[in-house]
Chain A
Amino acid sequence: MNIFRFAGDMMHLLSVVVLLLKIHKMKSCAGISLKTQELYALVFICRYLDIFTGFISLYNTIMKIVFLASAFSILWYMRSHKVVRQTYDKDQDTFRHYFLILACMVLALLVHHKFTFREVMWTFSIYLEAVAILPQLVMLQRTRNIDNLTGNYVFFLGTYRGLYMLNWVYRYLTEVHYHHRWLTWISGFIQTALYADFFYYYVKSWRNNEKLQLPA
Chain B
Amino acid sequence: NESDDSHDEL
Are A and B physically bound partners?
A: yes
* A residues neighboring B (CB under 8 Å): 5, 9, 12, 50, 54, 56, 60, 63-64, 67, 113-114, 119, 122, 164, 167, 177-179, 181, 184
Q: In the complex, A56→B6 CA distance in Å?
A: 11
Give how many B residues have a beta carbon under 8 Å from the other chain's beta carbons. 9
A63 touches B6 (CB 8 A): no
Q: From residue B7, how far is it (CB to closest CB) to chain A in Å?
A: 7
Residue on B nearest A44 in the bound complex, by CB: B10
Residues on the A chain within 8 Å of B7, using CB: 50, 54, 56, 122
Binding site for A on B (CB under 8 A): 2-10
| Chain B residues, CB < 8 A from A122 | 7
Closest CB of chain B to A72's CB: distance in Å?
17
> Can you list 6 A-B pairs with a CB-CB distance of less than 8 A?
A50-B7, A54-B7, A56-B7, A56-B8, A60-B10, A181-B5
Q: Could you tell me the distance between the alpha carbons of A56 and B2 in the complex, rounded to whole angstroms?
A: 15
Contact A63 B10 (CB under 8 A): yes
Interface contact B5-A12, CB-CB below 8 Å: no
Q: How far is the CA of A50 from the CA of B8 in the complex (A)?
A: 11
Q: Which residue of B lies closest to A66 (CB)?
A: B10
CA of A60 to CA of B7 in the docked complex: distance in angstroms?
10
Write out the residue numbers on chain A whose beta carbons fall within 8 Å of the beta carbon of B9.
5, 164, 167
Contact of B5 with A178 in the complex, beta carbons under 8 Å: yes
CB distance B5 to A179 under 8 Å?
yes
Considering the complex, give the chain A residue whose CB is closest to the CB of B8.
Answer: A56
Q: Which residues from chain B contact A113 at a C-beta distance below 8 Å?
A: 3
Q: Which residues of B sit under 8 angstroms from A177, Cβ to Cβ?
A: 5
Q: Which residue of A lies closest to B5 (CB)?
A: A179
* Bound CA–CA A119/B4 (angstroms): 10
Q: Give B6's nearest chain A residue, CB to CB.
A: A181
Chain A minimum-CB-distance residue to B2: A179
Q: Which residues of A sit under 8 angstroms from B8, Cβ to Cβ?
A: 56, 60
CB distance from B5 to the nearest CB of A (A): 5
Min CB–CB distance B2 → chain A (angstroms): 7
What's the minimum C-beta distance from B8 to chain A, rounded to whole angstroms? 5
- CB pair A184–B6 under 8 Å, yes or no, is yes
Q: Tell me whether B3 and A67 are in contact (CB under 8 A).
A: no
